[in-house]
Each structure stands twice: as C-alpha cells, then as structure tokens.
Amino acid sequence: MLLPLVLAFGVQVIIFLLLQSPVEGATPPVHTSGPPWCVNPGGTGGCYSRIQDAINAASSGIVIDVAAGTYTEHITMRDGVSIYGQGWATTTIHGGYSGPTSTVYMLSIQAGTVLSGVQVTGGGTGVTNTSTQDGGCIAIWYAAPTIVNTWVQGCTARNGGGVFARYSSPTFDNVPAWLNQVQQRGGGFYIDGTGQVTVTDSSLFADTNGTVWLNTAGWDGGGLYISEVTATVGGLRIWWNTANSNGGGVSIANAPNPVLFALNQINENSANNGGGVDAYNASQLSLGLNALDGNTVKSSGGGAQFSQSAGVVPVKTGSGPILQVIMVEVSL
C-alpha cells in the first residue's frame, strides 16, 4: 500500500522540480526600447512620467520599461501590456495609502502579460480597519498574469494584503510579501475560486527571494490563504506570520482540488490553531519535503493541524525511512 503512494508523491516532486526553471518574463523580451514605451519620473527623453499614462496609450504586445524611481499612483494593467521595472530595490509603485484601493489592479488579463522588477506598496489606507477593499498591493480578478521578481510589502486590505486573486490562474515566481495586514484572511496572499495557481521561488532560498514574512491576518492565513483552486506552492520561506484564528503560516480551507505544497520552510508562525499549517475540508493535499519549526498556537496543532482533510503527507519515524501515509485528521 505504501509503495504506490511513495511513487505517486515522487512523481509529483519531480514535476514540481521541473517547474523551477525560470519563468517566462523573468527577463524582458527583446524589443525596441526607448520612446514612447518608457516611463521615468521626469517624463524626459520622450518617455511618460506616469505608468498609467503609458499603459493607456499602449496596445497589446507592448512592453513598457519603467526607470528607477518612485511612482505614486494606482495602476490598472491592460491585457497584453507588460511592465518591467529595474528591480524592486529601485523601482517602486506606491499607492500613497490614499484610500481603500489596491495599488495594482488586474482584470481579465490573459497569460503572457507580465509585471516584473518592481516593488508594490502603499495599497489601502495604511490602517487595517478602514481598508475595506480586497487586495492591498495587487488585486487580480478573472486573470492569468505572470508576476515575477516583484516585492509586495506594507499594504492593508480586507483580504489579501500583499496579493488577492479570485477566479484567476496567475503565476508568481519570486514574489516576496512582507509586513502586509488584513482584517480577515491572507495577510501575504489570498487565493480562491476556480483556477490553477503557481506560487514558487525558482532560486530556492537565495537572499530574500520567495519570502513571506511578518504578515498578519485577523482571521485565517497569516502568510497564505488558499481555497478551492488547484495550487502548486513551493520553494518559499514562510516565517513570522500571525493569524488570530487558523493557520499562522498557511491556511488551506474548503479545497476540493489538488494542492501540492512542497520544499517550503514554515517557521516561527503563530495562530490560535495550526501555527504552521491549518487545513480544513481539503480533500486532495500533497504535502512533502516541507520544514516546520518553531510554530506556536494558543489552542491546537503547533506545527500543523488537518481536519476533515485527506491526502498524502510524508512522515519520518525515528531513524527509519520517510514513508507516505494517508492523512485523514491529525494535529502535529
């Protein structure tokens, strides 16, 4: 009985490792740079001074180069128009905490549209209780963009402080989420509805890449909240996140579709239940090669808690080999 499970999980891990090759869009494609598809803070050299103005003027297939600088604006991306900054240390899109609005908004964006090389911050009001919108830094609806090498930090929202995605199939590679706060669920990431979502760090723990740190949720999923979608999550460091209810690091709830969660470090998170991971009514979980350490709870499941859930999880007993066991309901 155990051998087929070992083989099945081994195949999943191999597939997951294949996904670690660099995501398309990690480097800007070859295109003609310079005016008019460029943005810089002064609007010099024939470039735009605001990112949104460049987006509005562009047609599908255009790649907009954004120079180093801080751009205080909210932007709405368009299908087929990609944005490339110079790296999150130098190119910032700042919402200015001007109201309950996401800094970057994406609606009906199809695959091939890329946001890369920027820091996104200043979404919401800066105060959790008055940030009534879903999506603090980035909000994604009915869309399938690629977001890569982009840091989301310091945003506030009702759900999804760093990123909110609903009925969408986005690909995230190296998208650190820090110091975001929400009233309800998903301090760093909130992902729900139908779709296929990939959240990875292809560098596998280089520098601060792929870190989900110091996010807070009033309800569930301090670091990540995942519901209903088919999801692959791997190569992340999920540390020091807090949820007042369930899943300090990760909350997986009402998830009937496959969720593969592997090669993650889930450390020093805290919650009422499931300090590291809390899964409820999740029926196709594959959890393996994750490190859980130092997670704390007020009630039950310090490292992980699974209720009304099923799937495959590797368990190491003493000095024996790692075996695959069917998971029904357990607290670790």
Helices (H) and strands (E) in the chain, counts: 2, 37
C-alpha distances (whole Å) from 73 to each of 4, 92, 95, 99, 200 are 53, 10, 5, 12, 28
76 contacts 113 by C-beta, under 8 angstroms: no
pLDDT at 22: 43
| Residue 234 reports pLDDT greater than 80 | yes
Phi then psi for residue 6, to 5 deg, are -60, -45
pLDDT at 28: 54
Task: Encode pLDDT of 64-89 as tens digits.
Answer: 999 999 999 999 999 999 999 999 99
Mean local confidence (pLDDT), 99-119: 97
Record the pTM: 0.89
Question: Are 172 and 147 a contacting pair, CB within 8 Å?
Answer: yes
Q: Which of 210, 205, 309 is nearest to 251 (CA)?
A: 309
What is the pLDDT at residue 205?
Answer: 82
Domains of the chain: 2-331 (2.160.20)
pLDDT reported for residue 30: 46
